[in-house]
Structure 1
Amino acid sequence: MKKNIFCFIIILFVINLFGGCAIVENEESLDLKELNYEEIADKLIRFHVIANSDSEEDQALKLKVRDRIIDKMSIKLEKAESLDQARDILNSSIEEVNSIAREVIIEEGFDYDVNTMLSNENFPDKIYGDYVFPQGTYEAYRVIIGSGEGQNWWCVMFPPLCFVDESKNIVDTKKLDENIANLDDKVEENKEDNKKVIFKFKVVEVFNKIFN
């Protein structure tokens, strides 16, 4: 029995090894780069819209609420030149954002409550454009629809990377690169040589799951 289990583990390892090679090749072609959490965590504000549930209707509603809020807040955040200014704008707009969301919810025939807040939350690894935002605590502007038990949609609200096109889905990689670079403008010059871009491959996660 033990011999069979050992053989099964070896076979599984070989399958993942060759399968992982293909995954690595694909990840390299995408050039996914993991950002340094310590360098970005306190320099941006994320935007999350959390659906009431994962039902098709609630997920569709989430995106409609997202669109209406982005259309309004993109104009306001154009004036923000710093994180503090963006934070002030977002905090002073909470009631307005709640009203916008409620308006959409009622238009779509639902009766969910909405709670909007600017808070520090812990998030898992997330891919955004060509970047991997590492797991950690980030400041986030969160719009929670109803019970907030569904999947969320997110973007970087400041610097304003959410507002790329009318679909709200496309990330302008060039603009993202420029804004990520600008996040480090105030970092001391002697830290520049220590910056590293870490390539993150799914095959590593697969092996970790197998052997842990």
Structure 2
Amino acid sequence: MKRFLRGTIIIVIMIFGCEIIGQVFIKKADTKMTEDISEKIIRFHVLANSDTKDDQELKLKVKDEIIKFIQPKLSESKSIEESREILLKNDEEIKKIADKIIKDNGYSYEVKTELQKENFPVKQYGDIVLPQGEYEAYRVLIGDYKGQNWWCVMFPPLCFVDVTKGQIENEKTKEELGSVLDKNEMEMVCDNKDNIKVKSKVFEVIKELIEK
């Protein structure tokens, strides 16, 4: 009996060791894939002055006008480089649009824009989940920009797909994203909660040993 228990413990320790090593490799692979994904995407963020109801409503008005202006220009972009160039070329006009909306609504907030890399947490957009990581982002900063932000993906042009309208629009989102991400990257960002069942092999083996 003691020999059996000793053998069982050794097996369990070996399996634990293999799983830990496997998880290290998986984490490294996921980190590399996240970096690859972030290199293919430009995000768009509009940060409100504060979280008051009025400031949040103003943020959405600014967002709507900017998207209305930039949509025709970005919708035909075939590469991240082209989208980046379009944003930089129209940066001053975007600031003017934001400034006008702010003034027309009776505010005097300063507006700043920037295109740079920022670290972002995990974010969900419809059926798409972007992993935490450093992404290139075009940001519109209103006033003190301490309020909650509105965000979407500018390249590929997902800002112009209304994911609140259901499955058809979500499929369009996946189609756009699939034009720049490979199969493995798409599997990583697609939110297939019903299909994800993580089960530790260690506990399966232990359960089998106990039941024998």
Tell me the TM-score normalised to structure 1 length.
0.68
- Select the residue among 158, 161, 170 that pairs with 2:158: 161
- Select the residue among 42, 46, 50 that pairs with 2:43: 46
**What displacement does 1:78 show?**
2.5
- Select the residue among 181, 184, 188 that pairs with 1:184: 181
**What displacement does 1:195 show?**
7.6
Q: 1:100–1:193: structure 2 CA closer, same or farther, 3 Å change rule?
A: closer
- Can you list the C-alpha shifts for 1:45-93, whole angstroms capped at 9, x where unaligned? 0000000000000000000000000000001112321111100000111
The answer to whether the aligner puts 1:94 opposite 2:91 as a matched pair is yes
Q: 1:193–1:164: structure 2 CA closer, same or farther, 3 Å change rule?
A: closer
Which amino acid in structure 1 is aligned with residue 178 of structure 2? A
What does 1:17-166 align with in structure 2 at a 5 Å threshold? 36-165=33-162
Q: 1:200–1:123: structure 2 CA closer, same or farther, 3 Å change rule?
A: farther
Q: Is the 8 A contact 2:161 2:173 kept in 1?
A: no
SS of 2:175 mapped into structure 1: helix
Q: 1:197–1:122: structure 2 CA closer, same or farther, 3 Å change rule?
A: closer
SS of 2:141 mapped into structure 1: strand
Which amino acid in structure 2 is aligned with residue 121 of structure 1? E
**What displacement does 1:200 show?**
8.3
Which amino acid in structure 2 is aligned with residue 134 of structure 1? P
Q: Is the 8 A contact 2:48 2:147 kept in 1?
A: yes
Higher relative contact order (CA 8 A, sep 6+): 1
Q: 1:175–1:195: structure 2 CA closer, same or farther, 3 Å change rule?
A: closer
**What displacement does 1:197 show?**
3.6
Provide the C-alpha distance between the structure 2 equivalents of 1:77 and 1:139, rounded to a whole number of angstroms.
16
Provide the C-alpha distance between the structure 1 equivalents of 2:172 and 2:100, rounded to a whole number of angstroms.
32
Tell me the TM-score normalised to structure 2 length.
0.68
Provide the C-alpha distance between the structure 2 equivalents of 1:169 and 1:92, rounded to a whole number of angstroms.
31
Q: 1:195–1:71: structure 2 CA closer, same or farther, 3 Å change rule?
A: closer
Q: Structure 2: give runs of 5+ residues left out of the alignment.
A: 1-32, 194-212
SS of 1:184 mapped into structure 2: coil
Q: Is the 8 A contact 2:49 2:145 kept in 1?
A: yes
SS of 2:129 mapped into structure 1: strand
Provide the C-alpha distance between the structure 2 equivalents of 1:159 and 1:150, rounded to a whole number of angstroms.
26
Q: Which has the larger radius of gyration?
A: 2
Name segments (4+ residues, structure 1) moved above 3 Å: 168-171, 192-201
